[in-house]
Chain A
Amino acid sequence: MDVNDNKIDRDEQRIAELVGSLKRVEAPGDFETRVRARIASADKGEHGAWTPFLIARIAVPAVLLIAIGGYFGFYALRSNRVDTSTQATAIEEPAVITGTNMTDTAAPLTPTAANPQATNTLAQTIPSTDKRPLSVGSKNSNIGGGSIDQASKGSTAIFPRGLDPNAGVPIASVLEMIGVDAKWDGRSWRVNSVAAGNVGERSGIKAGDVIEAVNDRRVDAKTVFVGSFTSRSLLVRRDGKPIELTFKP
């Protein structure tokens, strides 16, 4: 042990000698002059020229952070507002897009007094869970049709599944939802059959009926219901006679 320790000491001593044997260098003759020059230039502010750079190095990232934080904060708040407003507008009147030129084909019909108390809604044909407003982050995945991504898009209103105003619901889908099998025969929607126990049957729709209007608005092959709406009435032509029916959920 001592032998090893001594060897280590000798090795270290030898290294110290080798390193210590290196020739020393000296500062150049104008060393002091150059130091003075640097000090003088620093006094004139040249040495402190780093200050703007330091400020920039701190300020630029800080501004970027604030901008990014503000961006996400703004849209998060805006998304919350849109979510709230969705609840308030869930029972608004529908927007109907008909054909390629709505003004030509979607002329409103004259309202009748036959169904003044009509309260049945198309929305009621949709499972009740789908009518609840979207709750972002909810553990119930069946609620709503949105997502965190959608919620973060401030400009996108979040509607229950199937009532996305941007998606639209074609007339064919509406009829299918109420259990009516109808086809466009080139001029009108003709009912082939009505599923038993469904809204269509309860509302009085029968095979052979020609569906002319929904909620007092004429429908054609390309009619699309935009957004959620309250459905009140259905105008059909049966044996050449117009009959106004009431939706019965």
Chain B
Amino acid sequence: MAYDFTAKVLKEAKPNRMPEPKVSDHDLIQATRNGDEAAFAEIIGRYRNAITNYLYRFLNDYEEAVDLAQETFVRVYFALDRYHTEFAFSTYIYRIATNLAISELRRRKRRRVLSLTGLFQTEEDSDIEFQPADVRRLQDVELVEDEQSRVIAKAIASLPEKYRVAVVLRDVEGRSYEEIAEIMELGLGTTKSRISRGRGILKDKLESYF
């Protein structure tokens, strides 16, 4: 029997400070499996801002972030039967979002390789992600970021992807080391090392703010 959420009042979770939900993610997933569309709507409501923000800080492109966030939920929906409840759902959805984001970065890199700029790129440069400035106007969200924010965002976007994932999950999304290790499918020590290394690279880029 489908779990009925229609009568429930569910507060939208604030990103990074998600209150303890009355109904667990696992229960919502199970209800969705049983055909309760409202349960899936609740899943979307809980994670849409967090995933969008995560992908935005990862890609430094809001429209691309929204697009991939939507794709993340589509993937979740069609993979519900394969989801195992021994993992936290948040870990699961962040992992999907991360994989999509990394694929997008690599697609960009391939496109860049075909460009003339790529022909003159050095070995050292190739490890650094180049993010062209996003000059498109944002349609859905008005972002007014000060100079410092733009510099920090640009510095994050220039991190190699393996450090960027770790730093954004830790310092932007506030995920625990253990959860980041699970999302990245790495050991705890390696995860901490990547976070530290990523911060070290950022420190060099943000020297003026120290």
Residues of A at the B interface (CB closer than 8 Å) are: 11-12, 14-16, 18-29, 31-32, 34-35, 38-39, 42, 47
Contacts of A38 in B (CB 8 A): 70-71, 74
Contacts of B56 in A (CB 8 A): 25
**A11-B210, A19-B152, A23-B145 given as contacts; is B66 within 8 A of A28 (CB)?**
yes
Asked whether B70 lies within 8 Å of A34 as measured between CB atoms, the reply is: yes
Contacts of B202 in A (CB 8 A): 15, 18-19
Contacts of B71 in A (CB 8 A): 38
| Nearest A-chain residue to B52, judged by Cβ | A27
CA distance A249 to B73 in the complex (A): 92
Q: List 13 other contacts, CB 8 Å, given A11-B203, A39-B74.
A: A11-B210, A12-B203, A15-B199, A18-B202, A19-B152, A19-B171, A22-B153, A23-B143, A26-B52, A28-B66, A28-B141, A32-B48, A47-B78
**A16-B171, A38-B74 given as contacts; is B149 within 8 A of A23 (CB)?**
yes
Q: In which size bucket is the chain B interface?
A: 35 or more
CA distance A153 to B6 in the complex (A): 77
Q: Tell me the dominant secondary structure on chain B's binding face.
A: helix
**A29-B140, A31-B44 given as contacts; is B74 within 8 A of A22 (CB)?**
no
Asked whether B70 lies within 8 Å of A31 as measured between CB atoms, the reply is: yes
Contacts of A42 in B (CB 8 A): 74, 78
**A24-B16, A32-B41 given as contacts; is B209 within 8 A of A18 (CB)?**
yes
CA distance A15 to B201 in the complex (A): 10
Smallest CB–CB gap between B208 and chain A, Å? 11
CA distance A35 to B48 in the complex (A): 10
Smallest CB–CB gap between A37 and chain B, Å? 9
Smallest CB–CB gap between B204 and chain A, Å? 10
Contacts of A28 in B (CB 8 A): 66, 139-141
Asked whether A12 lies within 8 Å of B44 as measured between CB atoms, the reply is: no
A sample of 26 cross-chain residue pairs with beta-carbon separation below 8 angstroms, ordered by A number, consists of: A11-B210, A12-B200, A14-B209, A14-B210, A15-B171, A19-B171, A20-B171, A21-B152, A22-B145, A22-B153, A22-B172, A23-B143, A24-B16, A25-B53, A25-B65, A26-B49, A26-B53, A27-B48, A27-B49, A28-B141, A31-B48, A32-B45, A34-B70, A35-B77, A38-B71, A47-B78
CA distance A38 to B149 in the complex (A): 33
Asked whether A15 lies within 8 Å of B52 as measured between CB atoms, the reply is: no
B26 near A: Cβ within 8 Å? no
CA distance A23 to B172 in the complex (A): 10
CA distance A20 to B56 in the complex (A): 14
Smallest CB–CB gap between A147 and chain B, Å? 40
Asked whether A18 lies within 8 Å of B140 as measured between CB atoms, the reply is: no
Asked whether B156 lies within 8 Å of A24 as measured between CB atoms, the reply is: no
Contacts of B70 in A (CB 8 A): 31, 34-35, 38
CA distance A42 to B196 in the complex (A): 41
Smallest CB–CB gap between B24 and chain A, Å? 20
Smallest CB–CB gap between A93 and chain B, Å? 64
